[in-house]
Structure 1
Amino acid sequence: MPVIDPVDLAARLISVPSVTPASGAVFDVLDEALSGLGFTIHRFTLGEAPDGPTENMVAIRERGPGPHVGFAGHLDVVPAGDGWEGDAFTARIADGRLVGRGANDMKSAIAAAVAAVSAIEQPSGTLSFLITGDEEGYATFGTPRIIDWLNDRAIRPDMILIGEPTSETRLGDTVKIGRRGSLNFWIRTRGVQGHVAYPHKADNPVPRLAKIVAALSALHLDDGTEAFPPSNLEFVALGTPTAASNLIPGEASAQGNIRFNNLHTGDRLIALLTETAQAVDPGCEVRTRISGEAFLTPPGKLYELVTEAIRAECGIAPELSTGGGTSDGRFLIKLCPVVDFGLPNASMHKVGESAGVDDIETLSRIYRRVFAGGLEA
């Protein structure tokens, strides 16, 4: 079997545009690489716009009885935005860094994992790649559908490594052993539109919305735990249908998000949000969407494998963290222990997104150690 160059494969993946939700050609590139390594490839596309169509891939290489080690990741990326030097979807190397949308989050990690597998012997056990085209979106047709596919076939990994960019200032300094939950919410207050000079003939909803915002912002959710930082509620948008200076609007709205630790569940927070908002304005509308629940992977073999591999390749002991955003670990934890570990994340989602060539190569060696150790019974 060929030994794959992780930087070359990352460049080829980057050079196929795959803004979320992704499907098609970018999966063809990965399919070719994994097929050449003896993996059986299963691809399925689900859904329609706006949350689809989303393509998913489950690639499996089974070599007899033994542990099942999985790697999870996503080929979709956020839009490029303006201000790039050159084409965001044409990978290039500059000053020792691979530049292009997806270089950091997370096509380079997928390439590093494929290269790692190409460089190890697998006398027994099972390796799998669980790759979605919808992690940057709402994941409606992404990783949850991969889990359905696995459950329908009674396939269950013993551990899953997720290649999200978790490192902070240098490769290996941070591993994510859990993630906070995420709850999006939208609040709408209604009134009666009218002229600002005749307020008695109107009903201004803005003051009521302001009181709701103040009441929710004043909530003290918790002080955090030993493993998690405190939960936080943040408003991200406020608005009315018009900005006319002489018009009292007929409605006003606010949008926000709660990042919460494992002291809460999404349903209990929805109840708290609704109760607090409707105590101010019983007629207000509260809509919510849970992006994922908080989770924590208990200490075990996967912790040890990742930590020891980082020590061996980077010479440091990583911080075990639950900070930052969400990942598809919020779904995959239902199958088995999961850990997120990948590149330094300073450039993810930014114009000029990039990853150090040396870091990609080192990451591949770390993954190789994890995969090899995980396959040992």
Structure 2
Amino acid sequence: MSGEHVPELSPAEQSLVDLIDEAAVTALTTALVEAPSENPGGTEGAAVEILEKACRALGFAVDTYEVAAERPNLIATLPGGDGPGLMFLGHSDVVPAGPNWTADPYTVRTRDGRLYGRGTTDMKGGIASVVAAMSVLSRARDFGVGLSGPVRLVCTVDEEEHGIGVRDFVGRPADSEFLGCIVAEPTDMQIVRGCRGASYIEIEVTGRAAHSGRPADGRSAINAAAAIVDFIRADHEHLHETLDDLLGCGTWNVGTIQGGQGISVVAPTCSLGIDRRLMPFEDPHAVAGDLRKAIRDRAIDTDGITVDVRVTMEMPGFATAADHPLVTAAVGAVTDSGTATSVGGWSAACDGGFVSRDLGIPSIVLGPGNINTDAHQPDESVAIADLVTAAKAYTLAGLRLLA
């Protein structure tokens, strides 16, 4: 077909990608999915044990340590030279299966070239593709290619909730330098060079109860909360007045509201649960501080009303330059694996923000499966061919960045 891309692989690259074992990628994905690791509702221990055994069998140096009871992080390393290495990042937890599955979500089914089960896309399939690529890269010297630095898989717990795994990981002393990190989340093999961050801000409003027949005797926490919601709505609109080409802008969403004692009582309490998406340069504690100031400036928390504003979850955003070698190598690797790709931003958040912010490692997100159409829903699935493509792309990226 005219205009179709012709892969440009060296003989060594071709020999190595030919070693990608579809059956092995499928088997590891299946084994990981069939070790349930729902979050909340369980632990990641069983899934991580399977991953650890697979990595040890391939000769990787493996370290696991518990972040919480039965919640172990895993670090698997393929040694290389003394130069900076390449990191792959994944998470072992999955969201709860939920209702409306057509079969057991933790018994993998194969149909029309796809694997069905909770976690096939987000993101146990991506982890299996990384392991397959590392297995092939361990053979690089057989084809005259030496790796200038290590290749490392970091698999963390609790990504779907509070991020205790990645927070623990980035807080530990570094033992190697890395030129880049590829987060194997499902992007449909499109290259995400920037993500917005996420934060949860919880607000507790306290007023004073009174009989509803004499509301002036009390102080309504619901009325105060409504004024806060009005400010948040206005600020959300204000943020959209200035859009970044890659990530757009930060956003507000009031997701929950609870309050009041009864219909005939002036509401003494009200609570708000708020999602604030963050641009890479934004600090959620500074955002919360600005919100507190706005509440004070508008006299919402005076005359018998108190307001407590707390950040209860944060996940930083990041942006990697379009011309960074990690990005350009990934573009070539995916394209030469036979898949069209693009470079852009992501409205979702991921653990890569911590690696970028706290460790200073440039990051991208690149993985098999589609986060919008396949992840976090009944009958989650991933195409086996996409798992193989991801393994090939990870292999080529590793070779081109570290050879």
Match of 2:116 in 1: 99
Q: Secondary structure at the match of 2:169?
A: helix
1:352 matches 2:376: no
Which residue of 76, 84, 100 corresponds with 1:59? 76
Superposition TM-score, scaled by structure 2 size: 0.84
Residue 311 to residue 7, structure 1, CA distance change in 2 (3 Å) = same
Residue number among 283, 289, 294 corresponding to 2:317 in the alignment: 294
Q: In structure 2, what is the equivalent of residue 235 of structure 1?
A: 254
Distance (Å, rounded) in 1 between the aligned partners of 2:233 and 2:89: 36
Relative to structure 1, the CA distance from residue 95 to residue 195 in structure 2 (aligned partners, 3 Å threshold; closer, same or farther) is: farther
Task: Describe the SS at the equivalent of 2:58.
Answer: coil
Counting only pairs closer than 5 Å after superposition, residues 113-128 of structure 1 correspond to structure 2 as 113-120=130-137, 121-123=139-141, 124=147, 125-128=149-152
Query: Cα distance, 1:15 vs. partner?
Result: 0.2
Give, in angstroms, the shift of residue 166 of structure 1: 1.7
Equivalent residues of 1:63, 1:122 under 8 A apart: no
Deviations 1:147-185 (A, max 9, x none): 23352xx32222211101123xxxx3x321121122211
- Kept in 1, the 8 Å contact 2:285–2:311? The answer is no
Asked if the contact 2:38–2:44 (Cα under 8 Å) also holds between the matched residues in 1, the reply is: no
More off after superposition, 199-208 vs 333-342:
199-208
Aligned to 1:369: 396
Counterparts in 2 of 1:2 and 1:205: CA distance versus 1, 3 Å: closer
- For the Cα contact (< 8 Å) 1:186–1:287, is it kept in 2? yes
- Of 202-211 and 288-297, more deviation after overlay is shown by 288-297
Q: Structure 1: how far apart are the matches of 2:65 and 2:229?
A: 43
Aligned partner letter, 2:157: G
| Aligned positions of 1:283-362 closer than 5 A | 283-298=306-321, 299-318=323-342, 320-333=343-356, 334-343=359-368, 344-345=370-371, 346-362=373-389
Match of 1:273 among 280, 284, 291: 291
Q: Residues 163-312 of structure 1: matches in 2 within 5 Å?
A: 163-167=184-188, 172=189, 174-219=190-235, 220-221=238-239, 223-242=242-261, 244-280=262-298, 281-282=300-301, 283-298=306-321, 299-312=323-336
SS in 2 for 1:256: strand
The answer to whether the aligner puts 1:147 opposite 2:165 as a matched pair is no
Report how many aligned residue pairs link the two structures: 362
**Matched-pair contact (CA < 8 Å) for 1:265–1:294:** no
1:161 maps to which residue? 182
Aligned equivalents of 1:275, 1:155: Cα separation in 2: 42
Q: Deviations 1:306-331 (Å, cap 9, x if unpaired)?
A: 1011212234241x222221111111
Answer whether contact 2:221 2:270 (CA < 8 A) is retained: yes
TM-score by length of 1: 0.89
Instruction: Provide the C-alpha distance between the structure 2 equivalents of 1:336 and 1:240, rounded to a whole number of angstroms.
Output: 44
Percent identity reads 25
Q: Residues 335 and 328 of structure 1: is their aligned pair in 2 closer, same or farther, counting only changes over 3 Å?
A: same
Q: 1:13 to 1:233 in 2, by over 3 A?
A: same
The unaligned stretches of length 5 or more in structure 2 are 1-18, 142-146
CA 133–294 in structure 1, closer or farther in 2 if over 3 Å, else same:
closer
Q: State the distance in 2 between where 1:72 and 1:241 align.
A: 44
Amino acid paired to 1:214: D
Measure the CA separation in 1 of the matches of 2:37 and 2:65: 16
Measured at CA, do residues 277 and 200 of structure 1 come closer, stay the same or move farther in structure 2, by a change above 3 Å? closer
* Equivalent position SS for 1:106: helix
Aligned partners of 1:224 and 1:231 also within 8 Å: no
SS of corresponding position for 1:56 = strand
Aligned to 1:77: 94
3-state SS of paired residue (1:226): coil
CA contact (8 A) 1:150 1:156 kept: no
Change (3 A) 1:63 1:206: closer
Kept in 1: contact 2:260–2:266 (CA 8 A): no
The 2-side partners of 1:201 and 1:63 are apart by: 73
Structure 1 residues 126 and 263, CA, compared in 2 at 3 Å: closer, same or farther? closer
Question: Aligned pair in 2 of structure 1 residues 263, 46: CA closer, same or farther (>3 Å)?
Answer: closer
Note the residue ranges of structure 1 that are not aligned, 5 or more in a row. Answer: none
1:20 Cα offset (Å): 2.6
Q: CA deviation at 1:304?
A: 1.3
* Root mean square deviation of aligned Cα: 2.1
Runs of 4+ in 1 over 6 A off after TM superposition: none
